[in-house]
Amino acid sequence: MGVLVGKKAPSFKAPAVVNGGEIVEDFSLDQYIGKNHVVLFFYPKDFTFVCPSELHAFQSKLAEFEARGTKVVACSTDTEESHWGWLQVPKDKGGIQGIKYPIIADTAKTITESYGVMFGEYDYDMSGNMTANGPMIAFRGLFLIDKEGIVQHQLVNNLPLGRNVDEAIRMVDALQFVEEHGEVCPANWHKGDDGMKDTFEGVADYLANH
């Protein structure tokens, strides 16, 4: 599992369900370059238990992301048909009805692999047959990507550990503060707090000018 921070986010085209029910065949994050920050998060599987709590949590805060010019995009290794079916199930019955942001179908598992969040790996047995060591689903990965398509923050949780959506918003605020003011954000920084002058590595100046 590699670190993507500071690198170009892997590009892809894949099917996705958007607006709660419309299937598009060639969804790509490239549409946001030069326009929006992106929070791309991976989850293990449709029709499970922790996953809908996260999906609904991001939906409940979607307006806050949008107010910051930030797009939220989800991804799992399920099919687009599975995503669509889950979107038809009400929340009180374990479904994700009401989710409006895009949900990518990474059935080829290439996106999950390229972002380094695959739980399991492929190998070959003594007969040369390909085998899978692990469930081959996504860990709970989250990536904050800037307008230039560069990964600025990543977080990876194991399957049982749900994420904090408010922390994702805080990281968006921190990145945008650095880009706007050319200052860095200390520990536990929140929007409205003062930043700090960067006198060491010039990271803030780099982010503000790229």
What architecture is the 14-161 domain classified under in CATH? 3-Layer(aba) Sandwich (3.40)
| pTM recorded for the entire structure | 0.90
Determine the 3-state secondary structure of 32 from DSSP.
Answer: helix
Q: What is the pLDDT of residues 67-106, one digit of tens each?
A: 999 999 999 999 999 999 999 999 999 999 999 999 999 9
Say which DSSP state 41 is in: E
> Using 50, 70 and 90 to split pLDDT, how confident is the model at 210?
low
pLDDT of residue 41: 98
pLDDT of residue 203: 56
The arithmetic mean of pLDDT across residues 43-67, rounded, is 96
pLDDT of residue 74: 98
Q: What is the pLDDT of residues 21-45, one digit of tens each?
A: 999 999 999 999 999 999 999 999 9
- Range(s) within the chain of domains with CATH label 3.40.30.10: 14-161
Q: What is the pLDDT of residues 133-149, one digit of tens each?
A: 778 899 999 999 999 99
The arithmetic mean of pLDDT across residues 41-56, rounded, is 95
pLDDT of residue 152: 97
pLDDT of residue 209: 62
The verdict on whether 185 is a catalytic residue reads no
To the nearest 10°, the Cα dihedral for 20, 25, 29, 35? -70
Residue 120 has pLDDT above 60, yes or no: yes
Residue 111 has pLDDT above 70, yes or no: yes
Q: What is the pLDDT of residues 151-202, one digit of tens each?
A: 999 999 999 999 999 999 999 999 999 998 888 888 888 888 777 776 555 5
Q: Which of 16, 39, 51, 99 is catalytic?
A: 51
Residue 23: exposure state from Cβ atoms within 10 A (0-12, 13-18, ≥19): middle
Q: Which of 198, 172, 168 is nearest to 183 (CA)?
A: 198
Angle, CA 106 vertex, CA 144 and CA 78 arms, to 5°: 115
